[in-house]
């Protein structure tokens, strides 16, 4: 199967939202998706806060990766942070996920980034095994913390 890649364009906002919703359903988090096409257009294409890379199989979008730059003070340079990686079920097992990760690694190196990082749900064994097979290692000494919604507003305005 011929796999090609392309960066998303503003006209892809509905397709990006479809991938996000499919990923959320897979992760049993559908109720947390509040993104809209308008928000994606604003944040991805007007503010350029993140980028989306599609993997195409036979000309059809089979998978996507949404990523953005972060910064490592220790390395003194940017890195790429992979927020979402999703391959549609009918395309799994064909190297599409690996291909997307390879493209992200290439982008990171082309841009002079020092690392490529992401988070994975601790119950998602298929993804964990996939990442380990790529040579990735878990950062077990680190814990992710989050402020969102009311707790974020409370801190901001206390």
Give dist(CA 133, CA 131) in Å, integer. 5
Q: Compute the Cα dihedral for 46, 20, 120, 60 and give only its sign.
A: negative
How far CA 51 is from CA of 84, 94, 119, 143, 151, in Å, comes to 11, 24, 17, 25, 28
The string of DSSP letters for 85-106 reads EEE-GGGTTSSHHHHHHHHHHH
How far CA 71 is from CA of 15, 81, 120, 148, in Å, comes to 29, 9, 20, 21
What count of other Cβ atoms lies within 10 Å of the Cβ of residue 47? 9
Q: What is the DSSP letter of 75?
A: T
Q: Is 131 a catalytic residue?
A: yes
**Residues 5, 81, 131, 145: which is the catalytic one?**
131
Hey, which residues are catalytic here? 131
């Amino acid at each position: 199967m011929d796999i090609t890649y392309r960066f998303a364009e503003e006209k892809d906002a509905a397709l990006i939202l479809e991938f996000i919703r499919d990923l959320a359903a897979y992760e049993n988090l559908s109720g947390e998706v509040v993104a809209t096409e308008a928000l994606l257009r604003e944040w991805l294409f007007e503010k350029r806060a993140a980028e989306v890379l599609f993997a195409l199989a036979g000309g059809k979008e089979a998978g996507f990766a949404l990523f953005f730059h972060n910064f490592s003070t220790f390395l003194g340079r940017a890195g790429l942070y992979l927020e979402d990686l999703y391959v549609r079920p009918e395309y799994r097992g064909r190297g599409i996920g690996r291909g997307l990760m390879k493209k992200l690694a290439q982008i990171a190196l082309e841009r002079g980034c020092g690392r490529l990082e992401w988070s994975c749900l601790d119950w998602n064994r298929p993804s964990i095994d996939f990442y380990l097979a790529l040579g990735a290692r878990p950062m077990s000494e680190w814990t992710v913390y989050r402020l969102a919604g009311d707790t974020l507003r409370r801190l901001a305005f206390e």
